[in-house]
A and B are shown apart, each in its own frame.
Chain A
Amino acid sequence: ETGVTQTPRHLVMGMTNKKSLKCEQHLGHNAMYWYKQSAKKPLELMFVYNFKEQTENNSVPSRFSPECPNSSHLFLHLHTLQPEDSALYLCASSQGASDLYEQYFGPGTRLTVT
């Protein structure tokens, strides 16, 4: 498999549930990102990991918890979410740090919080 994959593609969860989103990149990149796209809003950066270290947390509530066990995998752990957290969550990766290369995006996970 090539590129950036995300699972699941669709997720419906209640506000008391705990779930995790998974992202895997097969590109040999060292940086990985989580973005959120809400309806009628731009893609918003949530977290950045560079060589497995978190380098940016864009004021994201603690009910979102990222994990990067290695450069190829990135998780987003979700707990006690709110309905307004319903959105498309996109993972991306890029080659190296401080680079000018483009980011490669996965297909996204469509999350609905009920």
Chain B
Amino acid sequence: DQQVKQNSPSLSVQEGRISILNCDYTNSMFDYFLWYKKYPAEGPTFLISISSIKDKNEDGRFTVFLNKSAKHLSLHIVPSQPGDSAVYFCAARSTGGGADGLTFGKGTHLIIQP
């Protein structure tokens, strides 16, 4: 059973518009969420994160929103740029102690159209 779900395998957005990537989770023990971006032939790179004590975190063009009651988070990219075309992974962890691995979603392939 997937604990982190990204239900859109791909998303196409016009350059300059807003890209919204969604992620749902089922494990209520998750209290820290991250977004990673992956280009072909490279490993995922960290983009932005949010702790469960917050509902929003912003970093430049990237904003992550967390709705704990709905167990839903989203990544907003505005304005979208061609270099944003990549696969975006949502990941979650529970910070109960120790070095824990991340639980990932399947990813959403974002395509920015010129």
Interface residues of B in 26-54 (CB under 8 A from A): 32, 34, 36, 41-46, 49, 51
Residue in chain A with minimal CB distance to B48: A102
B103 engages A98 (CB within 8 Å):
no
Chain A residue contacts of B4, Cβ below 8 A:
42
Known contacts A41-B106, A42-B4, A42-B106, A48 near B44 by CB under 8 Å: no
How many of chain B's residues have a CB under 8 angstroms from any CB in A?
27
Interface of B, secondary structure class, is: loop
- In the complex, chain B residues whose CB is within 8 Å of the CB of A50: 98-99
A45-B41 contact in complex given A98-B97, A100-B95, A102-B49, C-beta closer than 8 Å: no
The tally of CB-CB contacts under 8 A between chains A and B is: 74
The reply to whether B100 and A56 form a contact with Cβ atoms under 8 Å apart is yes
Cβ–Cβ contact A45 & B102, under 8 A = yes
Residue numbers in A under 8 Å from B45 (CB-CB): 104-105
Cα–Cα distance between A98 and B99 once the two chains are bound (Å):
5
What chain A residues lie within 8 Å of B42 (beta carbons)? 107
Question: CA A90 – CA B36 in complex, angstroms?
Answer: 14
Q: For B91, what are the chain A residues with a Cβ–Cβ distance below 8 Å?
A: 43
Q: Which of A56, A94, A96, A105 contacts B44 (CB 8 A)?
A: A105
Residue of A nearest to B32 (CB): A100
Interface size on A, residues (CB 8 A): 33
Q: Does the CB pair B51–A100 fall under 8 Å?
A: yes
State whether A55 touches B103 (Cβ < 8 A): no
In the complex, chain B residues whose CB is within 8 Å of the CB of A43: 44, 89, 91, 102, 104
State the CA gap A98–B64 with chains docked (Å): 22
What 1/0 flags go to A69-97 for Cβ under 8 Å of B?
00000000000000000000010101011
B43 touching A105 by the CB < 8 A rule? yes
Given contacts A48-B100, A49-B99, could you give 10 more A-B pairs where the C-beta distance is less than 8 Å? Answer: A31-B99, A33-B101, A35-B101, A40-B106, A42-B4, A42-B103, A48-B101, A98-B99, A100-B51, A100-B95
